[in-house]
């Protein structure tokens, strides 16, 4: 009887211990899931606002082009250089240790060179050159082909077929961007062979900007250090070739104000938020959500420059907004 009593007590003890252990593991999983959900939501919001600020930067650039005859290559060069210096100032105050760690890691610095050249520089140079050869709408549509490149890359590396939500998101994003960029009129898609080639290079650059730093650089150094270093490196290289001091535009106070808003908000803040989103939710979802850029550009152009919406614009807005909800 005594042995039976001890056995019962042991069973109760083990059962109580196992039950407590299960409750502890369940609570731990719930906390982990809550943290993951908060990080994912933060990544979605960061990417969304990054895309919105990119669109606003387009309005600032349009303002400078229309009122001050600013050269596109000069604007690209100065935008990268000033944004990179702003990043550097912030990093030296708040994140100096990780910057030093990056600069002293030879392998990661080589990857940074690839990111800066094939991501930041190729994307911005290709996009602006595509605008000059074709038009802004065509260049925007061609750049958005990055979605297809990123989806193919994600499927190959994960060894899976595209998900239905991904395919629907890509279709909605491309249709919405096409409608906003061209007004639904195929005749505005003037694509000479060289314009098509440059536009596709811009799309490759945009895809590289989302893919290259995702697994190594962003987790190790954060969005600000990676984006700021890449932007500054690209700005220094383009400055050596373009020599912006040799053909400075005649900007007044309003013009310089628009330029610094473009550099600080439309580049520094926008790229930092977008790259943080890439880090938290991955390149595929981030690139889809980032297509809110033409929506932001259209809305801010209407508010600042007096651009009028058409019915096609509204349909384009609806496609991209639906895509955002589908992706989230």
Name the band, by pLDDT with cuts 50, 70 and 90, for residue 4.
low
Pairwise CA distance, residues 132 & 257, whole Å: 25
Listed residue (54, 55, 74) closest to 64, CA to CA: 74
Q: Is residue 187 part of a domain?
A: yes
Q: What per-residue confidence (pLDDT) applies to 24?
A: 60
pLDDT (average), residues 213-231: 90
257-307 residue pLDDT tens: 989 988 988 888 888 888 888 888 888 788 777 777 777 766 776 776 666
pLDDT surpassing 60 at residue 328: no
Listed residue (139, 251, 253) closest to 202, CA to CA: 139
Q: Is residue 2 part of a domain?
A: no
Q: Is residue 58 part of a domain?
A: yes
pLDDT surpassing 80 at residue 182: no
Q: What per-residue confidence (pLDDT) applies to 72?
A: 82
> 194 vs 101, which has greater pLDDT?
101
Q: Is residue 42 part of a domain?
A: no
Q: Is residue 309 part of a domain?
A: yes
Name the band, by pLDDT with cuts 50, 70 and 90, for residue 62.
confident
Q: Is residue 26 part of a domain?
A: no
Listed residue (104, 75, 89, 83) closest to 232, CA to CA: 83
pLDDT surpassing 90 at residue 107: yes
310: left (phi over 0), alpha (psi -120 to 50) or beta: beta
Q: Is residue 234 part of a domain?
A: yes
Which distant-in-sequence residues (6+ apart) come within 8 Å of 131 by Cβ? 72, 139
> 128 vs 260, which has greater pLDDT?
260
Q: Is residue 5 part of a domain?
A: no
10-30 residue pLDDT tens: 555 555 556 666 666 676 666
pLDDT surpassing 70 at residue 217: yes
pLDDT surpassing 60 at residue 2: no
Pairwise CA distance, residues 96 & 103, whole Å: 11
pLDDT (average), residues 128-152: 77
Our count of domains for the chain comes to 1
Decide: 87 and 224 in contact? Cβ < 8 Å.
yes
Pairwise CA distance, residues 288 & 279, whole Å: 14
Taking the CA atoms of residue 163, residue 277, residue 127 and residue 301 in that order, the dihedral angle to the nearest 10 degrees is 110
For the entire predicted model, the pTM comes to 0.76
pLDDT (average), residues 214-235: 91
Q: Is 119 helix (H, G, I), strand (E, B) or coil?
A: helix
* Residue-range definition of the domain harbouring residue 104: 50-327
């Amino acid at each position: 009887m005594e042995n039976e009593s001890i056995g019962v007590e042991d069973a109760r003890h083990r059962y109580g211990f196992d039950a407590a252990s299960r409750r502890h593991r369940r609570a731990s999983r719930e906390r982990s899931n809550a943290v993951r959900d908060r990080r994912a939501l933060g990544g979605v919001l960061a990417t969304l606002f990054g895309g919105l600020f990119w669109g606003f930067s387009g309005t600032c650039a349009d303002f400078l082009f229309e009122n001050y005859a600013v050269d596109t290559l000069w604007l690209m060069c100065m935008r990268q250089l000033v944004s990179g210096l702003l990043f550097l100032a912030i990093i030296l105050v708040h994140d100096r240790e990780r910057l030093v760690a990056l600069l002293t890691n030879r392998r990661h610095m080589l990857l940074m060179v690839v990111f800066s050249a094939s991501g930041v520089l190729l994307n911005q140079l290709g996009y602006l050159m595509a605008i000059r050869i074709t038009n802004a709408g065509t260049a925007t549509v061609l750049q958005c082909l990055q979605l297809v490149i990123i989806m193919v890359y994600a499927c190959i590396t994960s060894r899976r077929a595209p998900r239905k939500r991904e395919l629907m998101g890509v279709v909605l994003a491309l249709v919405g961007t096409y409608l906003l960029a061209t007004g639904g009129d195929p005749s505005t898609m003037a694509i000479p062979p060289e314009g098509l080639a440059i536009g596709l290079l811009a799309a490759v650059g945009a895809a590289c900007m989302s893919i290259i730093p995702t697994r190594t650089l962003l987790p190790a150094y954060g969005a600000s250090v990676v984006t700021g270093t890449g932007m500054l490196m690209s700005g220094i290289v383009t400055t050596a070739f373009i020599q912006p001091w040799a053909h400075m535009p005649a900007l007044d106070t309003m013009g310089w104000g628009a330029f610094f808003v473009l550099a600080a908000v439309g580049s520094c803040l926008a790229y930092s938020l977008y790259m943080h989103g890439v880090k938290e939710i991955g390149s595929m979802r981030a690139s889809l959500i980032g297509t809110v850029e033409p929506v932001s550009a259209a809305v801010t152009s209407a508010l600042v420059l007096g651009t009028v919406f058409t019915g096609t614009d509204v349909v384009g807005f609806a496609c991209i907004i639906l895509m955002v909800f589908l992706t989230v």
